Amino acid sequence: MADSLAFFQDVQDPILDVGCGDGIPTATLAEQHRVIGVDFASTMLQRAKRSLSSTDFLRASIDHLPFQNGSVPAASCYFVLSDYTDRARLLSELKRVLHAQGKLVVADYSSNDEFNNLSDNLQRKVLGKDRGMFRLNSIALGNELERTGFRVKTSKEICYSLRTRLETFVDQLYLSSAGPEYKKKHLSEDQWGELLSEWMEGTEVHVTRRFVLVLAEKLYQEGR
């Protein structure tokens, strides 16, 4: 978020935070800017409104934003694109609403993110199915933005080490959307330890989280 705030330092408000979810990154942006949070899930927006009562929120889909061409100074999109195989439509809608030289921050899970890769493996092994997420790398995401009509200013991978006690890891898995299916398997702690052995260090699951971050500006095009 420090990179986002530095990149947005001189922008006019508002910043559109698309796919704002329950408003965690929105809250950081809102400390320094007027932000409009956009999400298509009303449950997410209700949660966001509860914690950020003075921020505006709008229910809309990223591929049909209710804003005129070139009317938005800046936008952010955190952890949304990896749900989509075809990101071109979402990115071109963001480009449509942004000012010429409007700023866009995109962050998402990297293809090297060990936590997601571990979760994918686990789901295939235990539940026999794919999680259906599309991971990016910073170069590929930068190229997609360039093809859509943005100039990439920065494109990088952000890493940090994450250690979670095995029982906490399993508890969190049970709270995920696949949680009920995992619970039905009634796996013991030893079985979980065995499944996660590659990632275990003592009693902890250890992974390196890796995210991609791209900071870009809409190219100035006469007449658009």
Ligand X SMILES: C[S@@+](CC[C@H](N)C(=O)[O-])C[C@H]1O[C@@H](n2cnc3c(N)ncnc32)[C@H](O)[C@@H]1O
Q: Which is nearer to ligand X, 40 or 134 (CB)?
A: 40
Question: How many residues line the site for ligand X (CB under 6 A)?
Answer: 16
Question: 24 near 48, Cβ under 8 Å?
Answer: no
Among 72, 74, 80, 136, binds ligand X (CB under 6 A): 80
Would you say 176 and 123 are in contact if contact means Cβ atoms under 8 Å apart? no
Report if residue 62 touches ligand X, rule: CB under 6 A.
yes
40 sits near ligand X (criterion: CB under 6 A): yes
Q: Count of alpha carbons within 13 Å of 175, Cβ hemisphere only?
A: 6
Q: Does 21 bind ligand X (CB under 6 A)?
A: yes
Please, what's the b/e burial string for 39-58 (b: 16 or more CB within 10 A of its CB; e: otherwise)?
A: beeeebbebbeeebeebebb
Nearer to ligand X, 29 or 196 (CB): 29
Which is nearest to 155 in space by CA: 142, 168, 165, 137? 142
Instruction: Considering only the stretches 5-13, 73-81, 135-143, 163-171, report the one whose residues sit in contact with ligand X under the rule CB under 6 A.
Output: 73-81
Helix, strand, or coil here: 158?
A: strand
Site for ligand X in 120-179 (CB under 6 A): none
The yes or no reply on residue 24 touching ligand X (CB under 6 A) is yes
State yes or no: residue 37 binds ligand X (CB under 6 A): no
Judged by CB under 6 A, the residue of 7, 16, 19, 169 near ligand X is 19
- Per the listing, tokens 């696949």 go with 178
Please report which helix (H) or strand (E) contains residue 118, including its range. helix 114-122
Site for ligand X in 168-197 (CB under 6 A): none
> In the complex, what is the shortest distance from the CB of residue 205 to ligand X, in angstroms, rounded to a whole number?
21
Does residue 39 bind ligand X (CB under 6 A)?
A: yes
Task: Count CB-CB contacts under 10 A for residue 15.
Answer: 26
Q: Which residues bind ligand X (CB under 6 A)?
A: 19-21, 24-25, 39-41, 44, 61-63, 78-80, 83
